[in-house]
Amino acid sequence: MEPAPSPAAPDETSVLIMGHRVAFPGGKTPFPAQLAVMSNEGGCPYNQTSFISLRARAPQVWDIEDITKEASMCDECAYFFSKSELETAHIVFCPYNYVLDPSIRKAVGINLHNSIVVLDEAHNVEDTCRSGASLEITEHMLASSVKSFDDVIWQESDNQPPNGYDAVRHMLSSVEAWFKTNAELVRDPKDIDDDDCYVLWSTEDTMEMLRDCKLMQVCNADMEEIYQHEQMKLASPGKKVLLSTRALNTASRLISVATYMALDNGKNADDFKLLITKKMRINDKNEEVIDTQLCIWCLSAAVVFSSLAFEAHSVILASGTLSPMDSFAGELSVDFPIRLEANHVVNMRKQVFIGAILNGPGNVDLISTYKNQQKFQYQDSMGFLLLQYAQVIPGGILMFFPSYALMGILKARWQRTGIWDKLEKHKQMFCEPRLGGKDFDALLDQYKAVIAAHSSAHSTPSGWVGSRSADDEPNQTGAIFLAVYRGKASEGIDFSDDNARAVLAVGIPFPNFKDLQVSLKREYQDHKSRVNRKLVNGSWWYKLQAFRALNQALGRCIRHRRDYGAVILIDSRHRGNSHGNSLSKWMRPHVQEFRSSEDCNPLFAEFFQRNQVEMPMAAPAPEPEPAPVPSTPTPVTSGPIVLEYEDDTPIKKLVHDLRHEHVPGAAALSIDGGVFVSQRQQVFQELGEFARDPFTADEAKQEAIRVLPKHEPVENRRAELAALTRVRRVDDPVQFVGKYFELRQLPFNSDGCPRRCD
């Protein structure tokens, strides 16, 4: 990630893409611990120092799949070719656990010093950081790791392997013995609920365990010594015994977590919890199996993120679901002095329909609590609601559920009652697979192919809305994809245009409050928030996790400036916009509440008919030229460009900018006490006093000079201004400026700009 001298020409930028999909010709991609072992010449049979063939075939910027294919054709290693390019690359793309997880970062060889780190989809950073400093290991993993070290030490007894082998082997053996002894403290899970099957150690006892098991004595230098010795064995000819991947990973994770806890004389020790858990599960043979795990859970993302922020020159987090930013910054323990919470690029009034549905068909309460989910009335009402919407929504529909369990319950009920068959007469049905992977990719391709086929067959507006033919027989008009929050479909996948004309969001995806890690995190937040005001308490943290997942799913359907679609919140807990502040900023002012699901059907039909005419499916329009960047960046906290006046509200609001996507004729106006300030000097004073980011006072004045009429308007009449302010919400500056000059009885052009009155 650090810029380095490059043979590229001065006007060229070399780009490197790294990721899990970079494959070895042998078929297996190694784990992080293996990467360090294989990193020298000879560690991989396909690792060529020159990569002559691959360099000749590879373009300057290449896709991961393409370079993997090219590497296989010339018997060279795509992974090590990518790694060799790190030395000269100016821009490196990689999964962000390559950057956030120190063990992977070190194994891959990414240097953050003086680098600019940009983390996209950064709402996952908090969880990734905590996971990077946590571990979960079983007795079997420890036992097999100890055996692997024993085998290597015995095999090389005549050659005296480095002391690091004995030190790490002794550490693993001590942890295994401690684990076996204390696992007996956990009660038999057959007699009690699974959630009670754990023993938790205090911070003091945890640190004592680390000392007793020699985890404080074993250090990263010992692992480095082991890695180097394993590399030498890999490069040498002949038969040899190597440490297993499991042994390397287990030892590396234990040492890494212990290092975090011991850092700065145990400064971070309170941010970890040590426990042993027992859970009963049913295996593939339908037998009851008890899993016992040793867990060290990190409860603060700042433990990992602080080192990243310290090493890098700049860190930029980008996501549509970071808000509220104060709590997010508090979790990472970084202030982030420059912040931007932007509006959406589309015309929210025309291109997005947002509704909250409280009751379904049959006047059934759609609150998605566990108790209500078990009722047949709820399950049937949800099915008939989807059937109603499938008949009026064109193209694709995404429907998100809080869990795979609920999705399975509803699917089974709908198939049993015949609702599923009725749905398939209007839309082809797809369900997100639980394990994802290649099955998900194939299913997604199939879903999009169905959408594309129907889009080309029904290219005219009249062919979309309504899914019945002339003889009143249903026609399929697309597909429905059933998915879950936090699943693969909700994270970063582009469902643009007809691929998702509507997102139906069922329930609110609160984490499982019975989950032990969630429970401990809530307790941790309650405790820490009393002494650190930048942290939220456990209840707020719990709510934020739910709405970040909800907002992430809701953003799947509006993907570019000419896109349009509907977002439907299906849960009576949205009554009265009670959770409005937890929704993404672009949604908050536009949520309409519907008591019954049938109430919005006519609005749906009108919405899609209008947009089929006004927003025909096409390539996204080119982006406008960006505005000049101020020499001194300032935090951006501006609100949406919306006027919101009640009839009886005193006119005290200032409109400092009505520019919308660089529309000509947008105006900077000052409204104060019912009087329109006509003198330019007074306008400048008002703008200077009330200017808001992203414009400074001077920039606001220059903007006023550009957009204000060249003539002095006649004296304003209070009645005319009152009529103007009855426009409750205006996000179209042309409409607003035109309305003003219409009331002023002044001529104006079609683009909203006033004509000169000579």
> How far, rounded to the nearest angstrom, does the alpha carbon of residue 653 sit from its chain's CA centroid?
35
Answer yes or no: is pLDDT of 63 > 60.
Answer: yes
Pair (406, 493) in one structural domain? yes
Regarding whether 379 and 293 lie in a shared domain, the answer is no
Residue 152 has pLDDT above 50, yes or no: yes
**Distance of alpha carbon 628 from alpha carbon 351, whole angstroms:** 28
**% of the chain surpassing 70 pLDDT:** 68
| pLDDT at site 504 | 95
Q: Please check whether residue 45 lies inside any domain of the structure.
A: yes
Residue 315 has pLDDT above 50, yes or no: yes
Does the residue 588 lie in any domain? yes
More confident residue, 280 or 414: 414
Establish how many alpha carbons lie within 13 A of residue 167's alpha carbon, considering only the half-sphere containing its beta carbon: 18
pLDDT of residue 460: 45
3-state DSSP assignment of residue 732: coil
- Would the pLDDT of 599 be above 80? yes
Residue with tokens 């365990």: 209
DSSP 362: T
Q: Please tell me the pTM assigned to this model.
A: 0.71
- Find which of 333-337, 480-484, 578-582, 652-656 is predicted with most confidence, using mean pLDDT: 480-484
Higher pLDDT, 740 or 683: 740
To the nearest 10°, the Cα dihedral for 97, 102, 107, 111?
Answer: 90
Predicted local confidence at residue 244, as pLDDT: 84
Are 454 and 396 contained in the same domain? yes
Rounded CA gap, 531 and 434, in Å? 40
Q: Nearest 5°: CA angle at 667, between 665 and 670?
A: 165
Q: Residue 330: which of 300, 352, 372 has the closest Cα? A: 300
State residue 137's pLDDT score: 92
pLDDT tens for each residue of 511-533: 998 889 999 999 999 999 999 88
Last residue of a domain, one of 53, 70, 89: 89
Confidence of residue 163 (pLDDT cuts 50, 70, 90): confident
Would the pLDDT of 148 be above 70? Answer: yes
Confidence of residue 95 (pLDDT cuts 50, 70, 90): confident
DSSP-derived letter for residue 474 is: B
Task: Give me the long-range contacts of 639-644 (CB less than 8 A, separation at least 24).
Answer: 640/343, 640/585, 640/586, 640/589, 640/731, 641/343, 641/731, 641/733, 642/589, 642/729, 642/730, 642/731, 643/725, 643/727, 643/728, 643/729, 643/730, 643/736, 644/589, 644/728, 644/729
Mean pLDDT, range 24-33, rounded to an integer: 40
Asked if residue 74 and residue 56 are part of one domain, the reply reads yes
SS3 per residue for 649-706: CCCCCCCCCCCCCCCCCCCCCCEECCEECCCHHHHHHHHHHHCCCCCCHHHHHHHHHH
Predicted local confidence at residue 604, as pLDDT: 82
- Residue 205: both structure tokens together: 């006892």
Q: Kindly list the distances between the CA atom of residue 388 and the CA atoms of 286, 484, 492, 610, in Å, as whole numbers in the listed order.
A: 41, 21, 28, 20
* pLDDT at 667 > cutoff 60: no
The CA distance from 258 to 78, in Å, is 34
Per-residue pLDDT at 508: 94
Closest CA to 323 of 585, 618, 508: 585
Residue of 91, 50, 93 lying closest to 74 (CA atoms): 50
Q: Does 495 share its domain with 396?
A: yes
The answer on 359 and 230 residing in a single domain is: no
Residue 647 lies in a domain: no
Contact (CB, 8 A) for 276 and 184? no
Domain boundary among 30, 61, 89: 89
| Range in 137-141, 555-559, 721-725 the model is least confident about | 721-725
pLDDT digits (tens, 9 = 90+) for 603-629: 888 888 888 887 765 444 344 444 433
> Which tops the pLDDT comparison, 76 or 513?
513
Q: How far is C-alpha 750 from the geometric centre of its chain's CA atoms?
A: 41
The DSSP output letter for 364 is E
pLDDT value at 357 more than 90: yes
Is there a domain that residue 318 lies in?
Answer: yes
Q: What contacts 748, CB < 8 A, 6 or more positions away? A: 665, 737, 738, 741, 742, 754, 755
Q: Quick check: 694 pLDDT over 70?
A: no
Among 222-236, 352-366, 439-453, 599-613, name the one with the lowest average pLDDT. Answer: 222-236
Do both 246 and 370 map to the same domain?
Answer: no
Residue matched to tokens 């609100």: 639
Per-residue confidence (pLDDT) for residue 165, from 0 to 100:
84
Domain count, the chain: 5
> Looking at the structure, do residues 164 and 75 belong to the same domain, yes or no?
no
CATH of the domain at 331: 3.40.50.300
Average pLDDT, integer, range 527-554: 91
Asked if residue 108 and residue 162 are part of one domain, the reply reads no
Distance of CA 735 to the CA centre of its chain: 36
Residue 382 belongs to a domain: yes
Claim to verify: residue 267 and residue 200 sit in the same structural domain = yes
Mean pLDDT (whole number) for 17-27? 40
pLDDT of amino acid 498 = 87
Residue 159, SS3?
Answer: coil
Residue 233 in domain: yes
**CATH number of the domain that residue 160 is part of:** 1.10.275
Q: Is residue 623 part of a domain?
A: no
Sequence-distant (≥ 6) Cβ neighbours of residue 608 within 8 angstroms: 392, 393, 394, 464, 465, 501
- The domain in which residue 569 lies consists of 352-462+476-512+554-614
Averaged pLDDT of the chain:
73
Region 232-250: mean pLDDT is 77
Q: Select from 454, 404, 457, 409 the least CA-distant residue to 428.
A: 454
285 and 380 fall within a common domain: no
Question: 141 or 45: which carries more pLDDT confidence?
Answer: 141
Give the tens place of pLDDT for each residue, 445-476. Answer: 999 999 988 877 655 443 344 555 545 566 77
Q: Is residue 575 located within the same domain as residue 441?
A: yes
The answer as to whether 609 is a domain residue is yes
Q: Which helix (H) or strand (E) holds 131?
A: helix 125-132
Q: Is the pLDDT of residue 666 over 70?
A: no
